[in-house]
Amino acid sequence: MRKIDVKIIEDKIYEMASHAGLNLTPSCLAALKNAEKSESGGAAKFALSTILENADIAREKLMPVCQDTGMAVVIMEIGQQVYLDGKPLREAVNDGVRRAYRDGYFRKSVCDPITRQNTADNTPAVLHTEIVEGDKINITFLPKGFGSENMSKLYMLKPAQGVEGIISAIVDTVKTAGSRPCPPVYVGVGIGGSFDTCAFLAKKALYRDVGSHNGREDIAEIEREALRRINALGIGCQGFHGDVTALGVSCEWAHTHIAGLPVAVNIQCHCVRCEKETV
Amino acid sequence: MKKLTLPLKNGEAAELCAGENVLLSGVILTARDCAHKRLTELIQKGEKLPFELKNAIIYYAGPCPARPGLASGSCGPTTSARMDSFAPILLDLGLGGMIGKGEMSDEVRAAICKNGAVYFAAVGGAGALYGNAIKKSECIAFPDLLSEAVYRLEIENFPAVVAYDCRGGSIY
């Protein structure tokens, strides 16, 4: 058994949230630079250069890359040999988020769904915990903006629709979203599982580096084909028409029921902010 | 690049063409979901609005708080389509135009044409760059809405694209 003080986790969440608000992931930045180079001209190229210039200003001036500093989505894989000592884990995560959003001058974007009253400190965070082997904790932190979250969809396909149905669902979601979710987007896809786990798989797919592929060749092929068809749509950066509508498609899968084929498509804007740490 | 001072003077919107890159300076007002709900409720009740709507340019945005010594925090555009149901009401009452990101409804485009207004698209996700172009920021209505309150912004060289012009032209 290994004892871990939750204060360490709170401080780690604080660091991760503070860094995430100001920085794109290296894989996202590289994909944006490639997109800017490959775009032939016009308003889409102008928008891509503006986005790259923005990333520099954010770092220099300590201003969030996007004013939508998001809902804090945290996934923790907790080794089953770990004993968590101190205040409740959820409280520690929320305290880390609260401090980071206050000290970083980040926007507080969390509210009651009915009254729309803002909680004024960006809590509660969305916390997923999984028990895994070992005595460590893997933490991933992803601030999720809602311009793109709003364009996400869940499909309960028929098994007969198969791979073609999956690819169509992914492409249709991006097509319907059009200019609204801040393209070029990063597309997280969940394939299989149940109604609830499928959506979670789609979110987890967004934790992967932009441009990475699933280890299963047939799934990686779905990623490549979906990306090819999305970029053939010609929506382009900000909907200004161009060759790059998506920076990448990431799929994660799980076993499902013989009667179903759930597919969840979670849209992430071009502002991919994601931190990974192990305690 | 064409330089414009906001709010636009009478007739200036008619000279703009969809797809044109512009640099905006002058005065704009932020308003997003909650502020629009309150504004339209005041209009329905026949009450006075907390600011002059005539010729004003509304920026669909909710800024981050400013660090000490800076005029504004990050402040890029939010998705305009969420304001689709509100925009025609405000345009009919004299609103000069909007700045946001992404497509809006056919009703909004029709109201822009009818009223000789304009819709500019700023680059979504460029919050730091736009925050940096804000030289002064003052909350002028609904302070309880925090980032969703109405802020009067003085901007300088704020890059945007004419998305919808008043002849029905569209960049999308």
Q: Quick one: A16 and A134 in the same domain?
A: yes
Q: pLDDT digits over A103-133, tens only?
A: 999 999 999 999 999 999 999 999 999 999 9
Containing domain of residue B118, as a range?
2-8+23-164
Interface test with B, best of A25, A51, A107 (most B CBs within 10 A): A107
In a domain, A11, yes or no: yes
Say if the Cβ atoms of B103 and A118 lie within 8 Å.
Answer: no
Q: Which residues of chain A have pLDDT under 50?
A: none
What is the count of structural domains for chain B? 1
Interface test with B, best of A24, A25, A68 (most B CBs within 10 A): A68
* Cβ partners under 8 Å of residue A215, min gap 6: none
Containing domain of residue A73, as a range?
2-21+65-144
Q: Pick from A122, A144, A166: which residue ends a domain?
A: A144
Distance from CA of A271 to the nearest CA of B (A): 6
* pLDDT of the residue at B125: 96
Q: Quick one: A79 and A171 in the same domain?
A: no
Q: Quick one: A139 and A178 in the same domain?
A: no
* pLDDT of the residue at A41: 78
For chain A, the distance separating the N- and C-terminal CA atoms, rounded to the nearest angstrom, is 14
In a domain, B18, yes or no: no
* pLDDT of the residue at B1: 86
Q: pLDDT digits over A29-77, tens only?
A: 999 999 999 998 789 999 999 999 999 999 999 999 999 999 999 999 9
Residue B131 is nearest to which of A53, A63, A147, comparing CB atoms? A63
* pLDDT of the residue at B81: 97
What is the count of structural domains for chain A? 2
* pLDDT of the residue at B156: 98
Q: Quick one: A124 and A232 in the same domain?
A: no
Q: Does A156 touch chain B (CB under 8 A)?
A: no
Question: B141 pLDDT band (50/70/90 cuts)?
Answer: very high
Alpha-carbon gap, residue A234 to A138, rounded angstroms: 38
Q: Pick from A117, A144, A171: which residue ends a domain?
A: A144
* pLDDT of the residue at A129: 97
* pLDDT of the residue at A40: 85
Q: What percent of chain B has pLDDT over 90?
A: 98
Q: Quick one: A81 and A201 in the same domain?
A: no
Say if the Cβ atoms of B147 and A43 lie within 8 Å.
Answer: no
In a domain, B17, yes or no: no
Distance from CA of A118 to the nearest CA of B (A): 8
Say if the Cβ atoms of B147 and A105 lie within 8 Å.
Answer: no
* Cβ partners under 8 Å of residue A214, min gap 6: A220, A223, A250, A251, A252, A253
* Section B157-165 average pLDDT: 97
CATH number for the domain spanning B157: value is 3.20.130.10
Q: Quick one: A101 and A7 in the same domain?
A: yes
Alpha-carbon gap, residue B85 to B136, rounded angstroms: 30
pTM recorded for the entire structure: 0.95
Say if the Cβ atoms of B127 and A67 lie within 8 Å.
Answer: yes
Q: Quick one: A237 and A125 in the same domain?
A: no
Identify which of B59, B48, B55 has the alpha carbon closest to the alpha carbon of residue B13: B55
